[in-house]
Structure 1
Amino acid sequence: MKVIPFRIFTAIALLGVVLFSCKEAPKTEAPAKKPNVVFIFADDHSYNALSNLGADQVYTPNLDRLRKNGTDFSHTYNMGGWNGAICVASRAMINTGQYIWNARRTDSLVRKGQPTNPYWSEYMQQAGYDTYMTGKWHVSRKAEELFNTVGHVRGGMPRSVKTAYNRPLSVNDTVWKSTDTINGGFWAGGTHWSEVVANDALQFIDSAKTKENPFFMYLAFNAPHDPRQAPQEYLDKYPLDQVAVPETFLEEYPYHEEMGAGKKLRDERLAPYPRTPYSIQVHRKEYYALISHMDTQIGKILDALEATGEMDNTYIVFTADHGLSVGQHGLLGKQNMYDHSVRVPFYVVGPDVPKGKTIDAPIYLQDVMPTTLEWAQQAIPEHVEFSSLVPLIQGKGKAHLPYIYGAYTENQRMVRTDSHKLIWYPKAEKIRLFDLKKDPLEENDVAEDANYAEVKTDLIEKLQSLQQDMHDPIPTIGK
């Protein structure tokens, strides 16, 4: 018998152990990739300017598509603003996660060059995300400091021209043409700004195919903010004789000066005083056209996301920074506490988000910030005051906001429940009260109706409490 040398025998034995170990080693799967997050943000888009809410005048097939494939939060609110540019406060709140007056303090620190807590996108980076932003920013910190990649950063609104205001004075007033590119505005640079946002987004989505990290996209349209400029084909969707005058149309709002939304306010100068049905029809036609044009761009983004094959691992949120009056209650702007101005659309689509579901629980649009942090498996910091919507989406939570607070400068305060709304104009020493169940359009003030005395007292007390909780800078109501 041939003897095998010991060293060879040892080597064979060790090889057997290695082979056996490799064969028996348990298989380990790579950790699941965190979900992508796409945030689509409109400007001046009221909750009731959508076709799926019965406003059959508005053509929004792609936003309808989002709603059909996800969950709709039907009562979503913005708290208001500390100056006429409501979007500044709204965007400060969404990026800091803080309520209005704390967000203003943080904004003040930024302007002074002092350190603050991280912003939304920075937390997403900490969670391992490639972050991207394009479109309207209007936040005191520079977008380039906060996102890995930045496209076209726009200011508060497209630069307007004099002829965009105080019009039309009559059916013969044709000085302003929304398709005229010499007016600049949305046409500045040669490509409509809504199309620029879509083009930027498509480019990033294409580049993300080669990256391993999940992505966070912050896509901020300037539309449908004025100047109301859209391509002719979208204007043609809305023949003027088919554009309805709002049921709440007024020639002039009775407290517009005391509430800080008077004739000198920029937004209110867009249409002539007193308001005319014709002028409001023209503005609403152009408003709808801008929305429909933006909707087409959103459709391009959705198509591109679907083409990546990652939609099953992607959350999409669509909302707006606030709403807009466009002739309702005799007002043009968003510097008021009526639902058309403080209430916005809010759609969520994602891998575990119920389809075709509507949640009536009131929320703030800024709740999206902590919601995305939860999706990203990032701890929600203590300074973030808004709440994650994940429990509500999953059907495991109840409404966390029994009362909605609203404010505009020192001139307006609001408290809203699911059944009533109280609006307070401190300078006019005026309280308005609306029964939202009987009067959803907020037309009939019942503040002096004895039948509502108990409701009025209760809401005054609730507003007092909310003012204290919010660190409101003006004296509490009734003090």
Structure 2
Amino acid sequence: MRYFYFAVALSILFIGCREKETARPNILFIFADDLSYEAVHFAGNTEVITPNLDKLAEQGVTFTHTYNMGGWNGAVCVASRAMLNTGRYLWRAKSSQANYENMKNERQFWSLQLQAAGYDTYMTGKWHVSISADSLFQHVRDIRPGMPGSVPEAYNRPLSPNDTTWLPWHTKYGGYWQGGKHWTEVVGDNAIDFLNQAKTSDHPFFMYLAFNAPHDPRQSPKKYVEMYPVDEIAIPENFKELYAYKDSIGCGEGLRDERLAPFPRTSYSIQTHRQEYYAIITHLDDQIGRILAYLKETGQDKNTYILFSADHGLAVGHHGLVGKQNMFDHSMRVPLIVAGPDIPENEKRDMQVYLQDIMATTFDLAGIDKPEYVEFNSLMPLISEEKTESFYPEIYGAYINFQRMIRTDRYKLIVYPRVPKILLFDLENDPLETVDLSNQSEFIEIKMQLISRLKDQQKMMEDPLDLHAYFPDLF
């Protein structure tokens, strides 16, 4: 009889171990807004202070060339988040908006797929997808709009060092301070509450933590702004007072983002905007540090994969631009980190990927099949080095009908149909995208190859813009 009880106990232990071994991992997704790949310390910007993101990068794999495809309106974040949550490429993501209710019923959203696989799903912060977050997530708190409310004082400034009407720590202007506590800190609080809920559950968790920061109005407590003396802020090497094509590409004075700084741009105004940009990023980094510290404190880190990225980048003075509605890398390229159990530490992958590959990556980590409608790809074969080349020989980009782009590892072609103008950059020798090679005879063949590749991408993407109408001899 004693052997019988021993055998039963051993059997229970074996079953328990097997269940533990086969349990799905937790997934913690942290999303920033308007965070360029160059605006974090671990990517090489020694001005900005991001110790917690630096540490996360050391603990995992960083993708150095991660892109958003662009947008169909001025709020580029709408398209970015629609692609992320539906898995569809840009123009199909746009057309799918009219079918969101049917898609919800068929579980064709990121969170619903994971919920069907047994995950408890949590969401807080910026949503900006045209279906309610609480219809897609089981636990929802403090859903925010596309940006905090702004005021006239936040625009066309500063006109001089004496212009102190707007200061980022003034709570009287609302914005991130609306409700009494800075929105970034609210997301941090909610994340810790969610982790407390999750540790009592028998199910793995999927947390979607979406910060509004560092989107304008770039407000943060005064101590963060004081970390960055304005006269010590570097001005981008490719700074211009005005971008020559700004009006024809939809980035003129009629675009809200571009109105934040005065026209023409001044060195001081760009230093001030970059000071406030870095300050709110460091404030964001502190809140991310709180979340990751609590994850470790509760022991939940041992079975949690962390994925960090942003919806797109931001110019903040590059090329005479301030917003994100352009095809330059500073506005299309974002940081991306994957960390967690069995992920290599402190490694980089330099191949081109899309940030929306994150969705398929989480399906891979959760051990569930990627649905057929998901067009993006898991990053796991690249992380494990099972695959050493990108899924995307070229990266496609679009902004309304004003701009198109195709990018390889070496070259980038940008098309401005309303000018009309085609730009060509050698990214290896000109990473700041300042020398247009499009009319140089030795680059004609490369230009024509990229035009052909852009045409192929337009067809595959179901791009509605007919470039032949603007360039009849080329498209």
- The match for 1:463 is 454
Shift of 1:24: 8.9
> Deviation digits for residues 281-300 of structure 1, max 9, x if unmatched?
00000000000000000000
Give aligned-pair identity as a percent.
54
- The match for 2:143 is 153
Shift of 1:428: 1.2
Q: Structure 1 residues 17 and 192, CA, compared in 2 at 3 Å: closer, same or farther?
A: closer
Paired letter, 1:68? E
Rg larger in 1 or in 2? 1
Q: Which runs of 5+ in 1 are unaligned?
A: 1-14
Shift of 1:141: 1.1
Whether 2:122 is the aligned partner of 1:122: answer: no
Q: Distance in 1 between matches of 2:368 and 2:123?
A: 20
Whether 2:381 is the aligned partner of 1:391: answer: yes
Shift of 1:53: 2.2
Contact kept in structure 2, 1:467 and 1:476, CA below 8 Å: no
- The match for 1:430 is 421
Q: Structure 1 residues 311 and 18, CA, compared in 2 at 3 Å: closer, same or farther?
A: closer
Q: Structure 1 residues 97 and 25, CA, compared in 2 at 3 Å: closer, same or farther?
A: closer
Q: Structure 1 residues 113 and 55, CA, compared in 2 at 3 Å: closer, same or farther?
A: closer
Shift of 1:22: 4.8
Paired letter, 1:300? R
Shift of 1:28: 3.0
Whether 2:370 is the aligned partner of 1:380: answer: yes
Shift of 1:192: 0.3
- In structure 2, which of residues 412, 430, 442 is the aligned counterpart of residue 439 of structure 1? 430
- Between 1:399-408 and 1:111-120, the stretch displaced more is 111-120
Q: Distance in 2 between matches of 1:415 and 1:105?
A: 22
Q: Distance in 2 between matches of 1:294 and 1:17?
A: 58
Alignment of 1:125-140 (within 5 A): 125-140=115-130
Q: Distance in 2 between matches of 1:240 and 1:24?
A: 66
Q: Distance in 2 between matches of 1:16 and 1:115?
A: 54
Shift of 1:400: 1.0
- The match for 1:92 is 82
Q: Structure 1 residues 114 and 317, CA, compared in 2 at 3 Å: closer, same or farther?
A: closer
Q: Which runs of 5+ in 2 are unaligned?
A: 469-473
- The match for 1:448 is 439
Q: Distance in 1 between matches of 2:202 and 2:122?
A: 15
- In structure 1, which of residues 324, 332, 341 is the aligned counterpart of residue 331 of structure 2? 341
Where does structure 1 differ by over 4 angstroms across 4 or more consecutive aligned residues? 15-27, 111-117
Paired letter, 1:29? I
Q: Structure 1 residues 103 and 18, CA, compared in 2 at 3 Å: closer, same or farther?
A: same
Q: Distance in 2 between matches of 1:225 and 1:476?
A: 32
Q: Distance in 1 between matches of 2:53 and 2:102?
A: 40
Q: Structure 1 residues 190 and 432, CA, compared in 2 at 3 Å: closer, same or farther?
A: same
- The match for 2:393 is 402
Paired letter, 1:169? L
SS at match of 1:427: coil
- In structure 2, which of residues 193, 208, 211 is the aligned counterpart of residue 218 of structure 1? 208
Contact kept in structure 1, 2:71 and 2:398, CA below 8 Å: yes
- In structure 2, which of residues 218, 229, 250 is the aligned counterpart of residue 239 of structure 1? 229
Q: Structure 1 residues 112 and 253, CA, compared in 2 at 3 Å: closer, same or farther?
A: farther
Q: Distance in 1 between matches of 2:446 and 2:192?
A: 51
Q: Distance in 2 between matches of 1:408 and 1:454?
A: 26
- The match for 1:10 is none
> Deviation digits for residues 49-96 of structure 1, max 9, x if unmatched?
011222111000001011011000000000000000000000000000
Whether 2:459 is the aligned partner of 1:473: answer: no
Q: Structure 1 residues 73 and 83, CA, compared in 2 at 3 Å: closer, same or farther?
A: same
Shift of 1:20: 9.5
Contact kept in structure 1, 2:199 and 2:300, CA below 8 Å: no
Shift of 1:117: 5.3
Whether 2:280 is the aligned partner of 1:290: answer: yes
Q: Structure 1 residues 20 and 97, CA, compared in 2 at 3 Å: closer, same or farther?
A: closer
Contact kept in structure 2, 1:62 and 1:296, CA below 8 Å: yes
Q: Structure 1 residues 114 and 391, CA, compared in 2 at 3 Å: closer, same or farther?
A: closer
Paired letter, 2:285? D
Q: Distance in 2 between matches of 1:219 and 1:154?
A: 11
Q: Distance in 2 between matches of 1:112 and 1:34?
A: 28
Shift of 1:40: 0.2
Shift of 1:318: 0.6
Q: Distance in 1 between matches of 2:10 and 2:113?
A: 41
Paired letter, 2:266? T
Whether 2:316 is the aligned partner of 1:326: answer: yes
Aligned-residue RMSD, C-alpha: 1.8
- In structure 2, which of residues 189, 195, 211 is the aligned counterpart of residue 205 of structure 1? 195
- The match for 1:193 is 183
Q: Distance in 2 between matches of 1:159 and 1:83?
A: 19
Alignment of 1:348-359 (within 5 A): 348-359=338-349
Shift of 1:383: 0.4
- The match for 2:154 is 164
Alignment of 1:250-265 (within 5 A): 250-265=240-255
- The match for 2:292 is 302
Q: Structure 1 residues 448 and 150, CA, compared in 2 at 3 Å: closer, same or farther?
A: same
Q: Structure 1 residues 23 and 138, CA, compared in 2 at 3 Å: closer, same or farther?
A: closer
Paired letter, 2:314? L
Contact kept in structure 2, 1:127 and 1:377, CA below 8 Å: no
Q: Distance in 2 between matches of 1:266 and 1:191?
A: 26
> Deviation digits for residues 442-473 of structure 1, max 9, x if unmatched?
01111111111111010000000000000001
Q: Distance in 2 between matches of 1:171 and 1:302?
A: 38
Paired letter, 1:445? D
Paired letter, 1:315? Y
- Between 1:77-86 and 1:395-404, the stretch displaced more is 395-404
Alignment of 1:6-45 (within 5 A): 22=8, 28-30=14-16, 31-32=19-20, 33-45=23-35
Q: Distance in 2 between matches of 1:350 and 1:476?
A: 44
Number of residue pairs aligned between Structure 1 and Structure 2: 465
